[in-house]
Amino acid sequence: MAESNYQTVFHFEVLEDGVLAMRPVGPLTVATMEMGFAQLAERLSKLSGPVRVCVQTGQAQIKEAGAVRFAARFLTTRSDIGKWAVADLSGPKVFLFSSVLMPLAKTSFPMRGFRSLDDALAWLRE
């Protein structure tokens, strides 16, 4: 059997109202973001209909500034899995990404910042 180079970089959890949360296991780098979003795309390929996704770093530190740029770029350019909206909350060494995915939708949503995960989830439910 071939060894997998895949490692768990995000925990996936369904929150209230069916929001899919991605929480990183450790510091975010461009490499871990790439792996995490590959895992997300794989999961989304098995779902149908609109999906709401919250990418939450919580207390995980951003190890590379490039990881933030990569996430924003990925979330706004992956036309194969739909259009995303990204919002961020930056504080001392922490970031929160909140995103909305509407598979195959032609519309994109404005970027927006949130003070808390509760605020982000409230916006996702609108």
Q: Encode pLDDT of 92-124 as tens digits.
A: 223 333 343 333 222 333 334 445 555 555 655
Radius of gyration of the chain (CA): 14
Q: Cα angle vertex 116, ends 45, 80, to 5°?
A: 20
Q: Encode pLDDT of 30-50 as tens digits.
A: 777 777 777 776 776 676 655
CB 88 within 8 A of CB 68: yes
Domains of the chain: 10-125 (3.40.50)
